[in-house]
Amino acid sequence: MATYTFRLNGRSVSVDAWDPDEPLLYALRGALGVHGPKLGCGLGQCGACAVLIDKQAARACVIPVSAAAGRHITTVEGLGTPERPDPVQAAFIAEQAAQCGYCTSGMIIAAKALLARTPKPTLDQAKQAMDGNLCRCGAHTRILRAVMRASQA
Amino acid sequence: MDIETDASLSRRDLLKAGGALVVSFAFGGTPLPARAQTASGTGEAGKPLDPTEVDSFLVIHPDGSVTVYTGKVDVGTGMRIAVAQMAAEELGVATERISIVDGDTGRCPNQGGTGGSTGLTRGGTAVRQAAATARQALLALGAERLGRPVSDLTIVNGVVRPVAGGRSIGIGPLLEATKFRRFSLKVDPKAPLTDPSRYTIVGKPLPRPDVPAKCT
């Protein structure tokens, strides 16, 4: 069994996996007990599992744990807390941009990645960037408002 | 292995509980809502679960804060804050002083499934009627303690006080006069409800308590 070491939300962690192709998401939610990223489609198509690898948003359900080795992984837990939210989280809370909450972690990660490369997006750019993150409750309008609010913070 | 062991144990426990269930029905006569496994049919420290009882829906704590229990579940619809507002309006308590326990079958009255827009229309209205019944009881208790007729009194921010001002008492301390700090009252379907034209809490958009945790 191989051991993979990477940084998770600022601290060094190691996980054992029999299969180097085990999805990073399983390691995060299982062995590491980090439950922000969600298993949605399992095919990299809905964005519920999104995490930051270094500064880029990635789909943890299709990224193998072996690919995380040596990288910096950030989940929504690594951004802030309810008491001290990160600016993007604060914008989502201010806009009440969550209903059931299943997509929210991935939405925040996608917004975080967008704002890292385009700090002042237009609404169209925000729509494009968030296009691959699905919300079945229908909170997209509030989510876009939150992204725009965060860009102005 | 562990999981299998646990599963077989819980099956056995379930059979035992099932045996007890038959016995309790045989002697008790009445079917119990929710927690039918326990002989008493009560939840948390003997709190009733019967949806016809005021105490099934709300508990008023010594500090005047309130816990509302509802069998309907908030799955991101904002039902928690809406139900808190409905209860706050009828009780005369600030919304921030109300916390919600939703969908825990061991603690909440069985109000049926959550769906088909029944969360507030049936679930919320049941809480509202229970709170309205509790309000009448609180006013009666206040009248006794303050030596004034009920018609002189109102409840504002969790305090029973004369409309014209004067000596007042918090709803938390008022419950000390009752057995186990409970109302021991049936929900009165005729308990007067606040007229919507006089709402000060219901209808205001308030932040949902579940959102910060979902974003972090």
A101 pLDDT above the threshold of 90 = yes
- Tell me what the pLDDT averaged over chain A comes to: 97
Chain A residues close to B208, C-beta within 8 Å: 96
What are the backbone angles phi and psi of residue B179, rounded to the nearest 5°? -70, 130
Is the minimum CB–CB distance between A87 and chain B shorter than 8 Å? no
How much is the pLDDT for B46?
79
The CA angle B112-B117-B121, to the nearest 5 degrees, is 75
Task: Tell me A110's DSSP state.
Answer: H
What letter represents residue B151's amino acid? Answer: S
pLDDT category, A25, cuts 50, 70, 90? Answer: very high
Residues of chain A neighbouring B77 (CB-CB closer than 8 A): 99
Low-confidence ranges of chain B (pLDDT < 50): 1-12, 14-15, 19-40
The DSSP output letter for B62 is T
**B33: Cβ contacts below 8 Å, ≥ 6 apart:** B41, B49, B50, B51, B109, B110
Among A10-14, A70-74, B13-17, the range scoring the smallest mean pLDDT is B13-17
pTM (2 d.p.): 0.82
A3 touches chain B (CB under 8 A): no
CA distance linking residue B130 with residue A49, whole number of Å:
42
Residues of B with Cβ-Cβ distance to A38 under 8 angstroms:
none
